[in-house]
Structure formats: structure tokens, C-alpha cells
Amino acid sequence: MSIKTEEISSLIKEQLKNYKNELSVDEVGTVTYVGDGIARANGLENAMASELLEFQGGTFGVAKNLESDEVGIIILGNYDKIREGDTVKRTGRIMEVPVGEAMIGRVVNALGQPVDGLGEVKTDKTRPIESPAPGVMQRKSVFEPLQTGLKSVDALVPIGRGQRELIIGDRKTGKTSIAIDTILNQKDQDMICIYVAIGQKESTIRAQVETLRKHGAMDYTIVVEAGPSQPAPMLYFAPYAGAAMGEYFMYNGKHVLIVYDDLSKQANAYREISLLLRTPPGREAYPGDVFYLHSRLLERAAKLSDDLGGGSMTALPIVETQAGDVSAYIPTNVISITDGQIFLSSDLFHSGTRPAIDAGTSVSRVGGDAQIKAMKKVAGTLRLDLSSYRELESFAQFGSDLDEATKAKLDRGRRTVEVLKQPVHSPVAVQKQVLILFALTRGFLDKIEVEDIKEFETSLSEYFDANHPDLLQTIKDKGTLPDEDQFKSAVNEFTENFLASKSDSKQTK
Amino acid sequence: MKLSKEQVGKRYSKALYEVAEEQKSVDEMLEDLKSLKKVYEENPSLSFALAGRSISRTEKLKILDTLKNQFGELMQDFLSLVFDNNRMDCIIEIADAFIKKYDEVNGIVEATVTTTVDLDEAQASNLESVIKKRFSVNKVNLTKIVDSTIIGGVIIRVGDQVVDGSVVKRFNDIKKTLLVNN
């Protein structure tokens, strides 16, 4: 097809007609200092906090510190072309990022520009990156469950839509895997996921995006990335940009899951910027407003009231600890802001319990309301089983004679731990979770050898798919446990067959 | 924390202005400071020589004497004070702050006008009257800059305010509208 030049020129003419030749009156300042990602400028007396400023060369910045005769500016993007003596102009706007349906499936940077090489993002909607969180009357208490597909999370620390659940642990304990698995499990759940990677290695992000793509999760996911090679302001702004993209969907009545991976790196970037801008350092050299940095971000996650469309934004912030120290500054801050935490222990991880969730210290403050009834019934005693097992475990290592009750507790505990183990990227549907936990808590598993449990679980779910799909459907649709006797007899029937086949294979050996 | 040069300039000029006001020699001071600033700007090495460590104090005093001989008594005293306080590198900032203060009190603005061709008297006075009206001031000190890169039109800068009527700016605006819409 040949390009119609006439059409194009008439289009341009039309646009030029709209161009108004107006004298512009701007307020400018002069750059007096340029440093790593920041600048200071004289003048700009009427500049407002967080206002977008434009440098001479076209680079943008955000006013952060407003002092008596200086303005501290965070530079967005390239700062190697900015020189001392350059002019900075006020724009009267605040920073915005593109939002909308077109963002889904894309990998963008903190400014919303695509970095996946798939061309420009075709959207004309934008949202300011900082916006006030929903107030008291705009919210509703969390009641719908968000299924992570992880047995240990859904059973022990259930997460509801609109909740903020912190994932915390040392390096290499599987924090990101929990978040990615949760995203994978949102397939066909009418959820939009946003994965904000802050300071993650570019190669890791690449691998994560590939995982998401392979499992078909990129169809409903936006990835916002700010790599470690980018200037600190990008790392600082990335979570807010992600939150703005999520808010757009939330206020349109949709459900959003947003993962901030991880906030300790964002705090480090913010510390760098603040120190360069000469904000007085406080504990661990973080500036005084580092708490507000995270609280204003996490408060934007909410379950909206029905008047506002009933949308929700669930946040899964991730914080990395050093040597399990949760009493460091950033972990304590974020723990106090969130509605609970999933604590990952490196000891458990190395002993093969994966996901390495520490049941004793992990809690969910609102999730209980959001658990389906069936799950509540089967998982009720789980936490108790686990904690008494952990308590007895060390005691039993001495090998002394144990009474029957203690032995039973230990056996149950060992099986519980085994059932909660789950390989990465293999989420389990909620009805299947209920099924295996039912078998566990009603004592059917006590007769099965610990090493056979994995096999038992897969065969059990296959057996139910083939012979009792109605029972599974009841759990899925109604959320309640089916008739207990019927359910029990079905599980019992399978267990006996399983045990019989096991003893057969033993004898043939 | 070390004071910035601007802060030093503000403090010294405020003190000097108040003393000059008492002695009713503000205008004289202004002229002195302007010429001093000119000397500094014409000889960039002067600031280094007087404030640095490269020459001895007695040598510095000699230079200072020749420098201050041409000024009145108050200015001489002031220079000695600044020298004793090791602030000779801030003279330009002090002068700037003094001029700013003087302008503020007397309703004068410093305006920079950038054009492609040199303005004649009539054009300049016309511009001045426009600026006077627009910023409601009594007097305008016009600094003219000729810069052919703006292609045409005028850019007027008064303090922090810039009125941009250059052709280059219009071209950029058109470029932006076309880029955003397509």
C-alpha cells in the first residue's frame, strides 16, 4: 500500500491548526550542583513539592527538598548532559506514568517506557505516580480469598484480596518464588498482576519474565523493572509507578495483585538520594521519612467499597533480612505497616522444606475471614500440629523412650511437614489442597509411610478427578466441605487400595 | 556544615547595606561594589590569589592595598574585614546580593533580553516600559545579549521569570505537538 502523502499533510495541518502561538511565561532556576542522580538549583522560589521540573536539555526531574534558597531535585533519566549553570524550568505538573489495558503483557521501566522491544505502548491514559490512598469510608474489609496455590500459604497464612502480606526472609530462601508462584496461580482468576522488580539483576528479571511467559502468565501481568545499573531515582520511583498502574485497574472495579520485589533495595536507593540531598540521616543512615516511604506506598493497596466498584489491590511486598534479623530498621517498619508476614527461614530451606515457611512466626491478620469454609475446617489444627511437632522434634532427638501420645504427635508432624512441601511453579487448586489436608487432619495419612506421601497425594487427586469429581466441585463452587461421611468414606476407600497396592509391591520385592 | 558562597554573600551584604544606610552612602557603595565586581570578573586569578594559599599574607596585603585605595573609607574597612575573615573569594556573591537588595528596596529589576539583532534605543526603551508595566517596577536595568541561535523573536528574563517569544521555542513546541499526537 502506498502512503498517501496528501492525507498525512492534511492531518499535520489539522494538528498545526490546534497549535496556539502563545507567549510562555516560565519560572526558571539555575543548576548549582549535579551529582549521582540528583541536582540542586537556585531560584525556583514557587516550586512545589514533587513538582516535575524540566532541565535545559529536555531531561526531567522531581523537586524533593525545598529549602530557603535552593531546591533539591531528583533527576529522572540521564544526568550526564546536565551542567552547572543550566536552567531548570517549572512545569506545574507532577510526574505521571502511562496506565491502561495496553500495559498488560509488557515489561516497562519506572517511567512506564517499554523495555521489552515490542514497540511503543499504545495508551493515552496516564496517572500521577503519587496519589492519596483510599480513605476510611472508601474501603471495605477484606473477605474474598486470593489463592496463592501454595498449600502452606493458603492453609496457614491465607491472603485476602486487598490485603498487604509481607514476604520476608534472608537471601536465597525462595521469597521471589512465592511471589511468582502466586502470580502463576492467578490464571483465569480475573486478576491483573504487576511484578515490580527493584534492584534485581537484569538476568534474573529476564528469567522471571520467561517463566511467566512459559506458564502463560504474561497475558495478565505487567512487569515494572528498575535494574541495579539504573540511577537510584528509578529504583525509588518504580514501586509508585507500579502502584499507579495497579490503581487504574482497582478504581475500574478490577482485582489487582502487586508484588514489590524488594522494598529493602528501594529503601537503599532512597537513602542514597536523601544523603546526597543532605537530608539528615537517622537510624542505619536512613532519612527520617523512610517509614512514610513505605507506608504511603502500601496504604494504596485496598479493598474498595461497593460504591467505588469493589475493586481491590493486594500487595505482596518483599523485604530481605540479613542473617534472619527481623529487628533491623526496614523489616520492623514494613512488618508494622502490613497485615501480616510470611517468614521464610534459611534453616528450613536448607533442610529441604520448601517453601521454607516458618509457621510459628508467619501470620495473616485479616486472611482468616478470606479463607473458604472448607479450608478453615481442615486447616484449623494444622498450625497447632506443626508447632507441637517443632517443639517435640528437638526433644525426641535424644532417642529416649516416648509414650504413645508423643509418638503420634511426632508422626503427624512429620507428615504435615511433608504434605506442605511443594515444588516451585506447580500451584495446586484449592479443592485439591482441601482434599489432601482433609486426609492429613482426619488421620488417613498416619498409616502411610512418609516417603510415600508425595505419591499418595498425586494418586489421591487423580482418583478423585476420576471417581468423585462432584465432591471436588462442591468445594470449588460452594466453598464448603461436602458431606463429611461421604467424603471420609471416599478417602478411606482410596487409602485402603493404596495401602494394599503398597504391601503388594513390597511382597513382590 | 560549610556555608555556601551565596549564604556568605547574603550575610555580608546585609551588614554592609545596613551600615551604608546609616551613613547614607548606599549609592556610593553600590557603585563601588559594581566596579569591584567588574575588577574581579576581568581578573579571574585575583580571587584565587587573595583567597588561596599560593602567596604569602604580606603579598596579599599589598594587592589588597592597591585594590582598596580607589574606594571610600567604608569600603576600605569592609574589604579589610572580608580579607581578615578569609572570604575574599565571595566578593562577587556579596556584590550580587547587595545589588539584589538595593534593587528590591528601590523597585528596580535586572532584565536580560536575548535577541538576534542588536536593539536600538527606541526598541530598548519600548521594551523597558513594557517590562516596567508587566512587573510593576520603577526602573529596569536592561542587559542585552545577541544570540543568533534563537533564530528570531525575543527572550526576556527577569529574575526567575522567563518570557520566551523566540522562534526556536515555537519550533520546539510544534515538534512536541506533532510527536505527542503521532
Place of cell 546526597: A276
pLDDT for the residue A24? 75
Computed over every residue of chain B, the mean pLDDT equals: 86
Interface membership of B160 toward A (CB under 8 Å): yes
User: Looking at the predicted structure, is the pLDDT value of residue A6 above 90?
Assistant: no
B6 to each of A420, B2, B12, B13, B90, how far by Cα in Å? 65, 11, 10, 10, 8
B138 to each of A218, B105, B130, how far by Cα in Å? 65, 11, 12
Please identify every residue of A annotated as catalytic: 365
pLDDT for the residue A21? 66
Q: Which residues of A touch B162 (CB under 8 A)?
A: 25-28, 87, 89
Tens-digit pLDDT profile for residues A456-474: 999 999 999 999 898 899 9
Q: Which of A142-146, A353-357, B170-174 has the lowest mean pLDDT?
A: B170-174
d(CA A275, CA A290): 12
| A174 annotated binding-site participant | yes
pLDDT: which is higher, B3 or A491: A491
Amino acid identity of A111?
L
Say whether B136 sits in a helix, a strand or coil: coil
Q: Which residues of A touch B165 (CB under 8 A)?
A: 23
Distance linking the first and last C-alpha atoms of chain B? 51
Q: Which residues of A touch B181 (CB under 8 A)?
A: 15
CA dihedral (B45, B48, B53, B58) positive or negative? positive
Architecture of domain A375-508: Up-down Bundle (1.20)
Rounded mean pLDDT, A484-503: 90
Inter-chain touch B160–A27, beta carbons under 8 Å: yes
Backbone angles phi, psi at B27, to 5 degrees: -65, -40
d(CA A242, CA A108): 10
List the one residue out of A165, A160, A164 whose CA is nearest residue A344.
A165
DSSP single-letter state for residue A283: G
Confidence of residue B181 (pLDDT cuts 50, 70, 90): low
Say if CB B98 and CB B29 are below 8 A apart.
yes
User: Looking at the predicted structure, is the pLDDT value of residue A153 above 90?
Assistant: yes
CATH number for the region A25-94 comes to 2.40.30.20
Confidence of residue A2 (pLDDT cuts 50, 70, 90): low
pLDDT for the residue A398? 74
Tens-digit pLDDT profile for residues B17-31: 999 999 988 888 888
Rounded mean pLDDT, B132-142: 86
Interface membership of B181 toward A (CB under 8 Å): yes
pLDDT for the residue B1? 55
Give me the residue from A15, A27, A87 closest to B181, CB to CB.
Answer: A15
Interface membership of B130 toward A (CB under 8 Å): no
Rounded mean pLDDT, B71-89: 88
CA-nearest residue to B176 within chain A is A19
Rounded mean pLDDT, A163-190: 95
pLDDT for the residue A138? 95
| A415 annotated binding-site participant | no
User: Looking at the predicted structure, is the pLDDT value of residue A22 above 80?
Assistant: no
List the one residue out of A308, A438, A440, A311 whose CA is nearest residue A378.
A438
Q: Which residues pair with B145 in a beta bridge?
A: B114
Say if CB A235 and CB A303 are below 8 A apart.
no
Give me the residue from B6, B7, B173 closest to A19, CB to CB.
Answer: B173
pLDDT for the residue B131? 87
Q: How many CB atoms lie within 10 A of CB B86?
A: 10
Q: Which residues of B touch A26 (CB under 8 A)?
A: 161-162, 164
**Residue A42, min C-alpha distance to chain B (Å):** 9
Rounded mean pLDDT, A346-352: 92
d(CA A116, CA A160): 32
Say whether A41 sits in a helix, a strand or coil: strand
**Residue A12, min C-alpha distance to chain B (Å):** 7
Say whether A195 sits in a helix, a strand or coil: strand
pLDDT: which is higher, A88 or A507: A88
pLDDT for the residue A239? 97
d(CA A212, CA A453): 29
Q: How many CB atoms lie within 10 A of CB A482?
A: 19
User: Looking at the predicted structure, is the pLDDT value of residue B109 above 90?
Assistant: no
d(CA A152, CA A158): 9
Sketch the domain layout of chain A as residue ranges. 25-94, 98-371, 375-508
Mutate to test the interface with A, among B160, B169, B170, B177 (most CBs of A within 10 A): B160
Q: Specify the length of chain B in residues.
A: 182
Interface membership of B174 toward A (CB under 8 Å): yes
For chain A, what percent of residues have pLDDT higher than 70? 98
Instruction: Tell how far CA A420 is from the center of its chain.
Output: 21
For chain B, what percent of residues have pLDDT higher than 90? 5
Architecture of domain A98-371: 3-Layer(aba) Sandwich (3.40)
